[in-house]
Structure 1
Amino acid sequence: MAPTDEKKTSKKFTAKDGNVRRSRNAPQDGQKKRKWVQQHKAFEGSVKEGQGFAFKRKEKVKHQYNKLLRKEKRNTRNPESRQVYVEEYPEHLKHLYLAEAEKLKKEAWTNRVNRTKQRMRWQTCDAAVEQEAAAEAQQTKAAEEEVTGGSEPADSLSGSHEPEPEPEPEPAEAKAKESLPISNRMKKKMEKKTSFQKTKEEFERIKEKRREKKEEYLKNQQQREKAIQKYKQKKTETFQMLSKKTKKGQPNLNLQMEYLLQKIQKN
């Protein structure tokens, strides 16, 4: 017969694994509970659920922007990486290719110098032709003056009249030097501003902008101070008028009514 004097220490009943009741929604075999999602739902999140799709879209755009920045930084560091075509010659023929390139470069430079010389020669020829034409015109003019000189007795009798010295014609070389031919390429190069000039203009523009901004700020500050001073003065006058009292110490209602009447009339 079993002993009857033994007492149980815990009143909780511990059943075996097969008798434990499990809830329907509890995860089985260590699997996570699956979330129910509607079938017609297009995005992972919504306004009520924390805007999950908008956050993902923002992160994607940010990633693309950072990628573009890295690419630009890489290009600025290594300008050689932007070269699409690089000439690579075989070692045993490299000197021939380089000599050919140097020869073509010298020929181009020689042709350019020859063109400039030819232009200068044409200009000197034109200047010489103009000078000869001017000399011929001058000779014909002098011959006409000699022919018509006998009909003027006053000039012939009076030996005091002397012909004015004629200006010497400028040499063709000086004219050629003044009007040296300049190609379009050189004109563009001369008209093109240097980096120093661009920087200086940018600095002057920024300086002028800052000065205008400072003047505008000081003007606005002065107007603001005037408006504040005017408002304070008006407020003080109003307070003094409304705080006046009669001989018995009562508030003067006549002044208050007059102030209200003025305020209504202004409005």
Structure 2
Amino acid sequence: DEAIIRTTSAERLFKCNSSLKGCILFESGRLHTYPSHLGQGFAFQRKQKIERKYRKLLKKERKIHSPQDNQFVDAYPEHLKHLYLAEEERLKKQYKTRDDSVLSEEKLNKAVESVMTEEKFKKKTSNQKAKEEYEKIKAERAKKKEEAEKRRQQREEAQRLYKQKKMEVYKILSKKTKKGQPNLNLQMEFLLQKIQQNT
């Protein structure tokens, strides 16, 4: 009762046994079944299962023989083929490096997460907790002290520069002529320089 049918498109062998009496396999590769009222129950379900497998195989075969593989090689003239091949390789390398960078970032993130979760789940004794708290407070105090020292040094430096500048201005403005009069020429030059700096 078994008949072996060879399809033209899929080149696969299928056995149609007595449970598949209600199906016809056309040369185009399509499997056609009769209406469901003819075969219902276990045999009909088996028939549908075989039909699904057949369609899956056809789909796979279409994917395997897709013309995308030879896209860059055959479609271009011989004198330009090397350019297209080089471009294809460059694009492949680009995609590879992108994928590698994404993978390395993911690995790094996973490593950081695993370390953090390990630290979370480690049970600490009260002594360890107290030590950590003490170290944290100590570090904060040292940091504050260092910042205060920096601010003090900056303030002192600014005051020193201000006093030095003020002293220079005082020396210029307090210079006197031989007769003991204030030197107006120097004062005017100083004021002129100040105006030029401001504009």
Q: 1 or 2 for the larger relative contact order (CA 8 Å, sep ≥6)? A: 1
Structure showing greater Rg? 1
Give the TM-score taking structure 1 as reference length: 0.28
Give the TM-score taking structure 2 as reference length: 0.38
Q: Which has the higher strand share?
A: 2
Q: Which has the higher helix share?
A: 2
